[in-house]
Structure 1
Amino acid sequence: MRYIVIGAGAGGGTIGGRLFDSGREVVLVARGAHAQVLRANGLRLELPDGTSEVRIPVADGPEDLTPRGDDVPVLAVKTQDTAGALAVWGSFGERPAVVCAQNGVENERLALRRFRDVHAMCVWLPSSHLEPGVVRAPCAPLTGMLRLGRYPSGADDTTRRIATDLAGSGFAAPVKEDVMPWKYAKLLANLGNAVGAVWGALDDDPALELTRRAKAEARAVLDAAGIAYTGDEDPAQERRDRMLMRPVESASLGGGSSWQSLTRGTGSIESDYLNGEVVLLGRRLGLPVPVNETLQRLANRFARERRDRAG
C-alpha cells in the first residue's frame, strides 16, 4: 500500500513518519513553509526514544502523483479543511479506500460523497506541530491508539491490512466494526479543546468546570438523539502501560490541537465540528446547549482575530 497523508501536521506527520520509518511507502501532502522544509530537510520526528530526520516524498497535490491501485489516502486535515481537500482529491485515481484520521464525526459523511470505501479512525495521539518540518509525539512505548473500522460500520481486508501496518509502526491499531461510538466518545473528550485554546489551560477549576458542563450537555443530546458512544471517552486504563507521556528532545508538547491552531495563527479552528456538533444536535432536538454555544463562539472569535489566549 502507498499511504498518501493529506495534512502532514501533528497527527498526519506522526502517522506518516512512523509508517515510513517502519518501511511502508508514504507520501506527505503539505503546503507553504512546512512543505518547503520537508523537501529540503525531511521530516524531523521527535519521539521519547530519539529524533529522526525522515526523508519522505512530498506532494503539493494529486497532480504530483500517478495514481496506483494500492493507494490509500489518509485525511489528516482539520475538519474545516475536509471539504476543500475532498474537492481536490475526490477524483484521484479509481476512488480508492480513504481513511479519516480526524477528530469529530462529520468527516466520514463528507468523504462518503466522494469515496465508496471510507474508513473511520478514532485517533488518540498526543502530538504537536508548531514549526515547519517538525512534529513531536511524546508517548511510548506506543506512539498512539488508532482504532479503525469501515464507515458507517464493519471491517474488511483493507481495514485489517491498514491496521497491521499501523501496528507494525508503533501504534495500537485495534479493528472496530463499531468504530463510530468510539469517535463519538472522542468527540466528548475533545469538547474541552476550546477551553484549553481560549484559557490556555485545562487544569484549573473554572476550566475543568466548563469542560464538565460541556460534556454533560453533549451526553444529553447524544442520548436524546439515540447516538451510541462508548462508556469511557478517555480509556486511560487501556493506555496506561502502553502510552506513557515522556519528554522529547526539544520543546514541550504544548496544548491540544485547537490550542496549536491558535498558537500558529492559522485563522481557523475546528470548534464548529466539536462543540458545534453538539450545538447542531441541540438545535435539531430543541435542547439548550449554552456552554457549547459559548465555547464555539469564543474559539471562532479567537481564531478570526488570531488571538492565542484570553486576557
Structure 2
Amino acid sequence: MRYLVVGAGAVGGAIGGRLAEAGHEVVLVARGAQYTALRDHGLRLRTPDGDRTHRLLTVDGPAALGELRPDDVLLLAVKTQDTEAALATWGPAPVAGGGTAAERLPLVCAQNGVESARLALRRFRRVYGVCVWLPSTFVEPGVVSAAGTPLTGMLHLGRHPHGTDETAHRIAADLEKSRFEAPVVPDVQRWQYAKLLGNLGNALEALSGPVDGEEAEALYARVRAEGERVLDAAGIAYASGEEQRRVRGDKITLVPPAGAPRGGGSSWQSLTRGTGTIEADHLNGEIVLLGRLHGVPTPLNELLQRLANTFARERRPAGSMPVAELVRRADEAERTAREDAGERAARADAG
C-alpha cells in the first residue's frame, strides 16, 4: 500500500516519516511554507534515536499525482477545522481503473476529537478512526520532532463507526513495523472519546501554560468532570483512565530530542504558530454540543472554547492568561450557570 499523508505536520510528519523508514511508500501532502520546505529539503524527523531527513514525494493536492492508485491509503492528519476542505479536495480525485477516492479508497482519520470521521462518512465509503496518542511537535517548516521511545506512539485503529476488517489489520501491521503500537479494535470510538476527555485540557494549556500546577490541575479536573457528566448523560462509552494506563504501560517514554523541546500540545502549537485557528470547537465544543443535546450545563467547556477561539483569532501569545485569572472566570461561569438554572426552575414552578 502507498500512504498519502494529507496534512504532513506534527502528527502526519511523524507517522509518514516512520512509515518511510520502515520501507513503505509515502507521499506527503502539505501547503504553504510546509509544502515548500518538504519539497525542497525533505522531511527532517527528529526523534530520541537521532535525526533523519526523508526525501519523499511531496504534493499540494491530488492533481499533482494524476490518477490515484487502487492501493493508496489516505491518511488524514490535518486539524479538524481543516477536515471539510481536505475531504472536498481529495474525495473526487480519480482512481486508476475507475471511480473516485471517496468511492474506492480507505480514509484513515488520525486526528483529535470525534468529528472528522463523521464528516468523512458523508463522502467516503470506507472510513477508519484512529485514537492518536503520539507526542509530536511541528518545530519549523520541514522539521518535526517526536519524543516517544522505544515506541513513537500508540494508534488504536478501527472502522468508523465500529468494526474491523482486513484493511485495518494491514494498516496496523505496517504501523507496527514502523515503531508504533496499533491495536485494531471494534470500538475505536470508545478510545477516541477517552482521548477527547484528555484533550479538554488542550485549551487550558494554550491559554495559561502547562497543566502542572495545583491551580491548573484542579481546574482541569473540573473541566474533565463536566465532560464525563455529558458523555454519561449521552450514553457514550469511553475507556477509563486505568484502562488507558494499563494498555500503554511503559511502552512509551518521552525523551524530547536535543534542541527540540515539546512546548505544548496541538492547541498550544496552533497559537504559537499564529495560524489564526484552533481546534477548540471540536474538543471542548464537542462537549458543549452534547451537553446542549442532552440537557447538561457545560459552562467550563463553553468558557475554554470561547477564550481559545478568541486567542487564535486575535493571535494572542500561547500561555499569556494567568491561570488565576482563568480560574476566576471559570468560577464566575459556573456561578452564572447555577443562577440561570435556578431562575429557570423558579419560572417552571410558577408556570
Matched AA of 1:257:
S
Of 113, 119, 132, which residue of structure 1 is paired with 2:128?
Answer: 119
Unaligned runs of 5+ in 2: 322-351
Using the alignment, how far apart are the partners of 1:212 and 1:295 within structure 2? Answer: 14
Of 186, 208, 227, which residue of structure 2 is paired with 1:218?
Answer: 227
Matched AA of 2:82:
D
Residue 233 of structure 2 contacts residue 296 of structure 2 at CA under 8 Å; is this kept in 1? no
Find out whether 1:179 has 2:179 as its counterpart.
Answer: no
Change (3 A) 1:252 1:234: farther
> Partner of 2:64 in structure 1?
64
> Partner of 1:204 in structure 2?
213
Find out whether 1:269 has 2:270 as its counterpart.
Answer: no
Structural RMSD (CA): 1.1
> Partner of 2:49 in structure 1?
49
Using the alignment, how far apart are the partners of 1:233 and 1:310 within structure 2? Answer: 33
What is the total number of aligned residue pairs between the two structures?
311
Aligned residue runs from structure 1 range 137-216, under 5 A: 137-216=146-225
Using the alignment, how far apart are the partners of 2:92 and 2:310 within structure 1? Answer: 34
Residue 275 of structure 1 contacts residue 296 of structure 1 at CA under 8 Å; is this kept in 2? yes
SS in 2 for 1:28: strand
Change (3 A) 1:5 1:233: farther
> Partner of 1:76 in structure 2?
77
Using the alignment, how far apart are the partners of 1:237 and 1:265 within structure 2? Answer: 37
Matched AA of 2:313:
R
Using the alignment, how far apart are the partners of 1:299 and 1:32 within structure 2? Answer: 24
Residue 91 of structure 2 contacts residue 124 of structure 2 at CA under 8 Å; is this kept in 1? yes
Q: TM-score when scaled to structure 2?
A: 0.87
Of 280, 293, 300, which residue of structure 1 is paired with 2:309?
Answer: 300
In the TM superposition, residue 168 of structure 1 has moved relative to its aligned partner by: 0.2
- Stretch of structure 1 that moved more, 291-300 or 201-210: 201-210
Using the alignment, how far apart are the partners of 1:225 and 1:237 within structure 2? Answer: 26
In the TM superposition, residue 39 of structure 1 has moved relative to its aligned partner by: 1.1
In the TM superposition, residue 144 of structure 1 has moved relative to its aligned partner by: 0.1
Which deviations, in whole Å up to 9, do the C-alpha atoms of 1:118-173 show, x marking residues without a partner?
Answer: 00000000000031000000110000000000001111110000000000000000
**Structure 1 segments of 4+ aligned residues over 3 angstroms from their partners:** none
Matched AA of 1:177:
P
Q: TM-score when scaled to structure 1?
A: 0.98
Using the alignment, how far apart are the partners of 1:37 and 1:209 within structure 2? Answer: 41
In the TM superposition, residue 52 of structure 1 has moved relative to its aligned partner by: 0.1
The percentage of aligned residue pairs carrying the same residue is: 60
Q: Which has the higher helix share?
A: 2
Change (3 A) 1:302 1:234: farther
Unaligned runs of 5+ in 1: none
Using the alignment, how far apart are the partners of 2:115 and 2:157 within structure 1? Answer: 16
Residue 139 of structure 2 contacts residue 260 of structure 2 at CA under 8 Å; is this kept in 1? no
